[in-house]
Each structure stands twice: as structure tokens, then as C-alpha cells.
Amino acid sequence: MPKPKMKMKGGAGPANFRKTIKRIFGLLRPFRGLFALVVVFIILGSIINVAGTFFIRTVIDDYIEIDNPDLKRFALALLVMGSIYLMGVITTFVYQRIMLTISAGILHKVRYDMFAHLQKLPIKYYDTHTHGEIMSRFTNDTDTMREMMSNAIPQLINSSITLVAVITGMIIFSPALTGIVFLVIIIMVAFVSRIGKISGKYFVKQQKSLGEVDGYIEELITGQKVVKVFCYEDTVKQRFGKINQELRHNATTASTAANILMPIMGNLSHILYALIAIVGSLFALNPQLGVTITTGTLITFLLLTRTVSNPITQIGQQLNNVLVALAGAERIFEIMDEKEEVDDGYVTLVNARIDESGNILESVERTGVWAWKHPHKADGTVTYKLLEGKVTFDNVLFGYEENRVVLNNISLYAKPGQKVALVGSTGAGKTTINNLINRFYDVPDGKIRYDDININKIKKADLRRSLGIVLQDTNLFTGTVMDNIRYGRLDATDEECIEAAKLANADSFITRLPEGYSTRLTANGANLSQGQRQLLSIARAAIADPPVLILDEATSSIDTRTEKLIEKGMDKLMEGRTTFVIAHRLSTIRNADAIMVMENGEIIERGNHDSLLAQKGKYYELYMGLLELS
């Protein structure tokens, strides 16, 4: 049988498919035993099925068409056959049941692996892919895989076995006629591979369009408010119509290719039948042609011919499904192949305590004292360094894209416990500094040090655990208010959560909610105001009790009165911690130990409030901008 060519323009080559298939079998590994069992059961079932067909012949020949038929012996034979059939039924049931367990299990595993891997991807990945596109892999693509697991593979095995059995029978009966059969089968295979090629190509396109459509749906439903405000409903509908039509085009072609397969194969087999009948009868009725064949053999052969097309059609159709699933699987593996956030840090964060002689000792329980554990590869020793919260930037150069510098030669120095403020116009690069400290992005040039350790050497998880970050965009999770606060430290008690909420001045509005701390938040806390969401995220950071705090516009939506109220709490929160405050509302940073004024990715002024005012530079301007009318 010629190998169906699956190479397609712009799509995946055969090597890719082979790799994908290999990986899918890799997924099967945990179910190895069960899968082997299924294969055995399927083979058993097919054999029983084929045997059943032959049995009918035997029963008629041996029990009915004899001289002295005995109904009792006949009934007994049927009973024996019945129990074999019953076995067939049971095997089918059992293999389907096991297959269900396997396919549901694999789907779960695929979803889980994909999600777990997603968590490890760098922020950059999320910044460059739409959510809908990612989600479509969780829905459409896993769905096609389910289809393949539960239907296509068993059917393929089943049909292959039947095909082998039938063709073996044919060769035994008449090699000459089998030649004709092979000829037609080659034509059939050519059709299958040709159609498969088309449908495969368009299925890949279809899945891609589907991803786009899903992405658009997700983005626009999430951004519904903006659509309404701009009366953009009609334009959006039109744009959707366009990609929807594109999907229609690709899906129609793909599905046509799949649908015409069955009639083509079925009718080719009828033509095959006619051919065999004609040629066979020529041989049978004209012995002078040199091929001897009895009419009995011819009839049996014709019977076999009728059964040969079914498995071929099945194989063709199921191969098609497999192709679809492979396209989906490739998209899933694409995510799984995305490079994980590299983390070659080896310095870890540990709880520590200091003994009488001033040595730092690692401790199992939470002590409130942290230390960096620094293993030295060269001599295998471990040194500990107390976490103090000193952060330095040393000539840091950074841009998200090439040729677009966002931070230019930034150097800054935060002593332990200091409050450092970053102010400046929007787009000056303040948030980028935050992105670099917690290593959402890595610095190509220059160094950032944390307690004199290059942050590239610190394990990312430990680095981030040591930083408490409150972001401008608050994101809350489905769950109760309490759950959301506890997100900061999962083992915090209810009392500690409430304490943190009080610190952030969130307690008063929470207690006014219908169910207080047990109120369920949905859809990113849609039932709260933006300012309330910010208070909650401050509480969330407070409970984490991190040595270093980064507040990135954390109070931008909180009114100044409330801000005054939480100031005490905030001060308490910042006490003894190195704190970076990114703000344009200068009221929050007046008491900062150091203020850096940024512009166009550079620090243009630095000092404290008084010295900067005295400088009468940019800071003075910014500060007076607030004052000028009073």
C-alpha cells in the first residue's frame, strides 16, 4: 500500500505528524496496561465477529443441509455459538468502558499539563497571545483529541483486523481475482490519501479560524462595556461576520472532503464487485482462459468482495479524524513546547534564626527572619546571608522590543528599610522597573542586585516570594472575599485575614457587604468598585508579609480621604521594609527616603522631598502642578 502523502503547503510536514503521533503515544504511557488490554479486547472482538460470519456458513452446511438433520444437535451448536457471541458482546462493552476511562484520563492529563505549563510561561507569552486563542486549545483542540481517542483509534484497529482477515481469505480462494481487488484498492487508497490531503489541509485551517473566532468572541465579550460606550455593536458584528465567513469557507471545504469519502468508497466497491463478477464469470465459464475457478468459489469470493470495502472506508474516514485530531494536538503541543520561564537561580530563600553567637541557622518554621541560602558549587559549602532588603540597579539598560529603549542606564540604590519613590510622566518606565525587579522580564545589560546578590542567581519563586507587589490592575478571583485575601498567604487564619483587611482599611466596606467576608466575588469582583478592589489587593499583599514591598500605583483609584485613612496602615505595613512606591500622586510619597524622578527611561533627579523642591527642577514642577490654583 503506498503511504498516503500528507505534506501540505504551509502546514505541518509528515515529520511533524510522526512526532505528534509519537507524543500522543507518550501521553498513553500512564495507561499502558489498560491500553494493551483494550487492544487485546478489540482484537478478540474482531475475531469473534469474523468467526461469527464463517459460523453461519458452517451451520448451514453441517447441520441443515445434511441428510438427517437433528434439531437438538443443531440447537446445541447454536447455544455454543451463542455463548461465543455473548463473549463478543462483553468484550465490546469492556473495551469501550476501559477506553472511556483512558480517553477521559488523557483529556484530563492534556488539560492539566497544558494549564500547568502555561503557569510556567514567561509574562511575555501572555502579552503576545490573545486569551481566546489560548482558550480554544482547551476547548476545540482537546475535543478533537477526545474524538480520536474514543472512536478513531478503536475503529482503526478493528477495521485493520477485518481487512487483513478478508484479504487473507481472498488470497486463499483466488490469487488471480485478488489481483483485481488490489488494483481497485490502490485506486481507493489513492482517493483516500488525495481527499485526506485536502481535508487535512483545510482542517488545519479550520482549527486556526476557529481559534481566531473564539479569540474574537472572548475579547469582545470581555470588553463589552467599551463596545457599548462606542456604539460599536454593528462594526463589531461586521468584523465578526468576516472571520466567521472565513471559518465557514474552511470548514465547508474540510467537511465536504470528509463527507464525500464514504460514497466514493462505497460505490467504488460496487464497481469492484461488478468487475470481479465479470472477470470471474469469464474465468469460470471459459476454462480455456487458463484460470480455473469454480462457481462456488466465485460466489464466496464475491461475498468477500462485498465486505472488503467497509473496513477500507472506515480506515479512510478514521484516518481523516486522526488527521483533525493531530492538527489539534499539534496546537496543544505548541503550547507545551513554549519555552518555560528560565530559572537557573540557585540562591533560595529560607526561614532563619540567629543563635547567640550571631550565626544564621536555617529554620523549618516561620520565624519572621529570612535568609538567602547560597550554595557554592566549587567546594560544596553553603553560606547564609540575612535578607535585609537592599536593592541596587547598576547601569540597567532595557527595552521590550529591540530598538526601543525603555530604561536607559538606570542606577539606583535602596538601603534596607528605605522607602524609595519613583515618580515621573506616564511611559517614563516606572512600571518597567517593577517588571525587572520581580524578573517578569530579564535585563540584557547591567545588573540588578538584591542584598548584593545578582537577582539572576536567585530562584525566581523565592525572589518573588520575598517581594510583595500590589499592581495597578487589580485582579481578584472567583471565591469569597476571605479567599481572596488569603491568596497572599495560604495558611493565614481568618483572624489574620481580617487583621490585614483592617490594615488596608478594607474591613469597613467588607462588613457592609451582604455576607461580609463570606461574600462571593465573581468575574474579577464585578460587584466591587475599582477602589474597593484596590483595598482588597493591598490587604492581600499585607498578609503575605513580604520583606520588600512594591506598590505600583496601588492607590490610584482610592480617593484621597480613604487614602488618608489607610495611610497609617500603609505606614505600618512599610515599617522596616524596603518599599518601592510608584505613584504620580505625590501626596503618597512625600515622606519617602529617596525620590527618583524619571523621564524617558532615565532618572533625571533624585533626592528627598525637600531637597528636590529646593532644586526647583522637574519634581518641583510636578509638585507645584498640584498646587498652583490654591
Partner 1 sequence: MIKKLVSFTKGYTFYAVITPILVMLEVSMEVTLPFVISKIIDVGINGDGGTPYVLKMGLIMVAMAVFSLIMGGLAGRTCSVAAVGFSTNLRGGLFAKVQDFSFANTDKFTTSSLVTRLTTDVNNVQMSYMMLLRMLVRSPMMLITATIMAMNINLKLSVVFLVAIPFLGGAIALCGGFAYPRFIKMLKRYDLINENVQEDLAAIRVVKTFVRENHETEKFRKSSEDLRKMHISAEKCLIFIMPVMMLTAYACVLSILYLGGGYIMKGAMTTGELTSFLSYIMQILMSLLMLGFIFVMVVMSRASATRIVEVLNEKIDITDHDADESLTVEDGSIEFDNVNFAYAKGAENFVLKNVNLKIKSGETVGIVGGTGASKTTFVQLIPRLYDVTEGQVRVGGHDVKNYKLDVLRGSVAMVLQKNVLFSGTIRENLRWGDNDATDEEIENACKTACAYDFIESFPDKFETVLGQGGVNVSGGQKQRLCIARALLKKPRIMILDDSTSAVDTATDKKIRNELKKNLAGMTTIIIAQRVASIMDADKIIVMDNGEIKDVGTHAELLERSEIYRDVYYSQTYVEEAKNA
Residue list 265-324, contact with partner 1 (CB under 8 A) = 266-268, 270-271, 273-275, 277-278, 280-282, 284-286, 295, 298-299, 302, 306
Residues 6+ apart with CB under 8 A from 14: 5, 6, 7
**Three-state secondary structure of 398-458:** ECCECCECCEEEEEEEECCCCEEEEEECCCCCHHHHHHHHCCCCCCCEEEEEECCEEHHHE
Residue 620 sits in the site that holds partner 1 (CB under 8 A):
no
CB of 449 to partner 1, least distance (A): 20
Residue 494 cell numbers, joined: 481568618
CB of 359 to partner 1, least distance (A): 28
The residue within the footprint of partner 1, chosen from 359, 383, 411, 530 (CB under 8 A), is: 530
| Ramachandran region, residue 366 (left: φ > 0; alpha: ψ -120 to 50; beta: rest) | beta
CB of 11 or CB of 424, closer to partner 1: 424
The residue length of the chain stands at 630
Residues 6+ apart with CB under 8 A from 47: 161
The residue within the footprint of partner 1, chosen from 50, 198, 232, 361 (CB under 8 A), is: 232
Nearest CA among 605, 226, 622, 570 for reference residue 426:
622
Rounded to whole angstroms, how far apart are CA atoms 37 and 179? 36
CB of 21 or CB of 183, closer to partner 1: 183
Q: Which of residues 553-582 bind partner 1 (CB under 8 A)?
A: 553, 556-564
CB of 341 to partner 1, least distance (A): 9
CA 328 to chain CA centroid, Å, is 12
Question: What is the DSSP track for 345-404?
Answer: --BEEEEEEE-TTS-EEE-SS--S-EEEEEE-TTT--EEEEE----EEEEEEEE-SBTTB
Binding letters toward partner 1, positions 354-383, x by CB under 8 A: ------------------------------
The residue within the footprint of partner 1, chosen from 324, 423, 539, 594 (CB under 8 A), is: 423
Binding letters toward partner 1, positions 326-345, x by CB under 8 A: --------------------
The β-bridge partners of 347 are: 458
Binding letters toward partner 1, positions 399-418, x by CB under 8 A: -xx-xx--------------
Burial letters for 243-268: b for 16+ Cβ neighbours within 10 Å, e otherwise? bbebbeebbebbeebbeebeeebeeb
Q: Which range touches partner 1 (CB under 8 A), out of 23-31, 155-163, 227-235, 318-326?
A: 227-235
Q: Which range touches partner 1 (CB under 8 A), out of 22-30, 163-171, 261-269, 351-359?
A: 261-269
The answer to whether residues 554 and 471 touch, using CB atoms and an 8 Å cutoff, is yes
Report the alpha-carbon angle 139-140-146, nearest 5: 90
CB of 25 or CB of 230, closer to partner 1: 230
Strands 370-375 and 578-582 turn out to be unpaired
Residue 424 sits in the site that holds partner 1 (CB under 8 A):
yes
The answer to whether residues 578 and 389 touch, using CB atoms and an 8 Å cutoff, is yes
CB of 14 or CB of 621, closer to partner 1: 621
CB of 392 or CB of 472, closer to partner 1: 472
The residue within the footprint of partner 1, chosen from 3, 15, 29, 65 (CB under 8 A), is: 65
Q: Which of residues 426-455 bind partner 1 (CB under 8 A)?
A: 426-427, 430-431, 438, 440
The answer to whether residues 466 and 387 touch, using CB atoms and an 8 Å cutoff, is yes
The dihedral through the CA atoms of 59, 60, 64, 65 has a sign that is negative
Residue 457 sits in the site that holds partner 1 (CB under 8 A):
no
The residue within the footprint of partner 1, chosen from 151, 587, 608, 615 (CB under 8 A), is: 587
CB of 31 to partner 1, least distance (A): 13
Q: Which of residues 99-158 bind partner 1 (CB under 8 A)?
A: 100-101, 104-105, 107-108, 111-112, 115-116, 118-120, 123, 126-132, 134-136, 138-140, 143, 150
Binding letters toward partner 1, positions 494-513, x by CB under 8 A: ---------------x----
The β-bridge partners of 424 are: 598
CA 496 to chain CA centroid, Å, is 35
Residue 141 cell numbers, joined: 483542540
Nearest CA among 584, 446, 445, 569 for reference residue 500:
569
Q: Which of residues 458-487 bind partner 1 (CB under 8 A)?
A: 461, 464-465, 467, 469, 471-473, 475-478, 487
CB of 72 or CB of 377, closer to partner 1: 72
CB of 19 to partner 1, least distance (A): 25
Binding letters toward partner 1, positions 172-211, x by CB under 8 A: --------------------------------------x-
Give the count of beta carbons closer than 10 Å to the beta carbon of residue 117.
Answer: 14
